Amino acid sequence: MRDEFDRFLLRYRSGLSEIETKLAILRDEFSLVDGYNPIESISCRVKTVEGVLEKATRKGIDLDLDAIKDGLSDIAGVRVICSFVSDVYRIVDLLTSQSDITVLEVKDYIANPKPNGYRSLHVILEVPVFLSAGPEPVRVEVQFRTIAMDFWASLEHKTYYKYDTQVPQHLIDGLTEAAETASHLDSTMERLHHEVRSYRPPARTLDV
């Protein structure tokens, strides 16, 4: 069973490599052609066997590989951190319009934040992985966020982990307020960024 599970997870690791390569190519091209890199970082993880079994059990999914494959969308996860909200949408468009990518679901928590203030854009997609037996579609969850959204989500996650869901109300309120501040910061930074990018310095005259 363990061997079978390791083979099962290998597909997800391969799917992650495919997506990571696509994103790295976009990042490198932007850096070269535009002189500007819209992607701050890309991180990938495949859930552990224990993590997969725990989530499947929690969601009432049968513990067989076919049911797990159908029932869980985040066995393979990629997180893409962008500088600005407009970069998030630009990279999402460029990735999801590639001909070998099938988009299964988009959850836009930037346009529609969660009540606690969580903001990110999640895309669940399928990418083909070419194994010895032929191509196989592999499901990957890609989370896109800005630096400010990531800063907030990391602290919120740590808070819930530490208090084991019994988070005091003043911390919940503080986090919701901080989410508003982060959103405001994103808007301000985006505006400043556009102004700086469109600035053309006046032509210098030569003093002879």
Provide CB contacts within 8 A for 149, sequence distance 6+: 110, 119, 120, 182, 186
76-82 sheet: strands from edge to edge: 39-46, 76-82, 134-146, 121-131, 102-108
Catalytically active residues, by annotation: 141
Beta bridge partners of 129: 136
CB of 115 to ligand 0O2, least distance (A): 9
Proportion of the chain in helix, strand, coil states, percent, rounded to 5: 50, 20, 25
CB of 156 to ligand 0O2, least distance (A): 4
Which residues sit at the interface with ligand 0O2, rule CB under 6 A?
74, 107, 114, 116, 118, 122, 153, 156-157
Nearer to ligand 0O2, 30 or 143 (CB): 143
CB of 205 to ligand 0O2, least distance (A): 54
Helix H or strand E encompassing 40: strand 39-46
Nearer to ligand 0O2, 30 or 146 (CB): 146
Nearer to ligand 0O2, 114 or 184 (CB): 114
Tokens representing 168?
């005091």
